[in-house]
Amino acid sequence: MTDEAYSELREFLDRFPVGFPGTSSGVDIKILKRLFTEEEARAAVLLTPFPESASRIAERTGADPERLAELLGSMSTRGLVFRVRRAGEALYSSAPFMIGLYEYSVNNLDSELAALYREYYKTAYMEEMGASDVQGYKVVPVAEYVESETVLLPFMDLTEQVRSARRISVAECIYRKEAQLLGEGCDYPLETCLSFGAAAEYYIENGMGREISSEEAVRILYDADRAGLVHAGTKTRHLSNIYNCCPCCCASMKGITTRGHDKHRYLNSLFEAVVDGSSCTGCGECVERCPVGALTRGDRAAVDRDQCLGCGLCAGSVPRKRLS
């Protein structure tokens, strides 16, 4: 067996906006070998980002239609390709490394794979994310923390979006799971990754997450908020995922907190914190709550606007609404 199929798959994955760069250590290929058989690696590169039936992909690429349908069906249950169902027919599209192969490997994650991911982040992927101009997420605080005069557009209101979702799933946070397997980790809650609609169906059907009601999803959101996690929604028109991110394990947050990368490389901040100078006593509670060190204590707290994510966690430390 040669590495040709895996090298081709690596190059294919590297064409996504946030790619999958090669490394001199070859850890990128080791990860792909853990996830894909050689035949699966050859099948994965036949797909496009647009959902297509197995027969259509076979017609377009000259692959054997029956074998391809079998392969894609099996690969989709392990998170190697994305699958949606339309009118009962399974349609497949390619999954990037992130959001995709990495998150969907949550059930197969063991200490060996966790160590490979960790090595890859350190040697190549953190820089790839930091160099990208693609902000994968928008940070949305719970509405109670937003100044009451601010008109919230539907995509800014987390609980409203959660309540209007067709189906909802919750899965474990793979970053915190990975850290735990490597003997690190933190005390933040683990089962916090919410998916909605077609993304939720994918998680539920493949056993990567469990189906929950909108009430439970809202409860998870508020528990995450109390725990000090940042709510990061995917920047899609219809919300497909909300991740609840900690500053210590999440790759995007670590890019900001440990590598000093510009927040705009990772996140779109819709809001920013404003200190009410007339009532601030300088108690410093908000400074403790801020996950990125955007607040400093003094006679009054001060916000570094370049650092602030607009997550609203600081507002949770005081009883009044503070974001605008």
Q: Please report whether residue 289 would count as binding ligand SF4 according to CB under 6 A.
A: yes
**Adjacent-strand bridge partners of 267:** 137
| Segment interacting with ligand SF4, rule: CB under 6 A, options 6-14, 115-123, 234-242, 295-303 | 295-303
Question: In angstroms, what is the minimal distance from the CB of 194 to ligand SF4?
Answer: 19
Distance of CA 65 to the CA centre of its chain: 33
For ligand SF4, which residue of 71, 162, 170, 309 counts as binding (CB under 6 A)? 309
Q: How many residues does the chain have?
A: 324
Q: Does 290 bind ligand SF4 (CB under 6 A)?
A: yes
What is the C-alpha to C-alpha distance for residues 249 and 114, in angstroms, rounded to an integer? Answer: 12
Other beta carbons within 10 Å of 227: 15
Question: Which residue type, as a one-letter code, is found at position 119?
Answer: E
Q: Which is nearer to ligand SF4, 83 or 263 (CB)?
A: 263
Which of 174, 318, 319, 321 lies at the binding interface for ligand SF4 (CB under 6 A)?
A: 318
Which residue in 41, 208, 314, 321 binds ligand SF4 (CB under 6 A)? Answer: 314
Q: Which is nearer to ligand SF4, 207 or 282 (CB)?
A: 282
Residue 162 engages ligand SF4 in binding (rule: CB under 6 A)? no
Q: Are 91 and 82 in contact (CB under 8 A)?
A: no
Amino acid code (one letter) for 65: P
Structure tokens at 273: 């914190």
Of these, 125, 242, 301, 321, which contacts ligand SF4 (CB under 6 A)?
Answer: 301
Largest CA distance in the chain: 71
Using CB under 6 A, which residues numbered 267 to 286 contact ligand SF4? 273, 275, 280-286
Q: What angle do CA 158, 125, 304 make, to 5 degrees?
A: 50
- State the number of binding residues for ligand SF4 (CB under 6 A): 25
247 binds ligand SF4 (CB under 6 A): no
Which CB sits closer to ligand SF4, 46 or 290?
A: 290
DSSP E strand stretches across 76-225: 81-86, 89-94, 137-139, 168-172, 191-196, 210-212
Is 147 a binding residue for ligand SF4 by CB under 6 A? The answer is no
Q: Which lies closer to ligand SF4 via its Cβ, residue 26 or residue 277? A: 277
Question: Could you tell me if 131 and 137 are in contact, meaning their C-beta atoms sit under 8 angstroms apart?
Answer: no
Query: By CB under 6 A, what part of segment 118-137 binds ligand SF4?
Result: none
| The two three-digit tokens of residue 84, written as one number | 């949606």
**Residue 156 contacts ligand SF4 per CB under 6 A:** no
Other Cβ atoms closer than 10 A to 70: 13
* CB 134, min distance to ligand SF4, A: 21
CA distance 103 to 97: 8
Rule CB under 6 A: which residues touch ligand SF4?
Answer: 273, 275, 280-286, 289-290, 292, 294-295, 301, 303, 308-314, 317-318
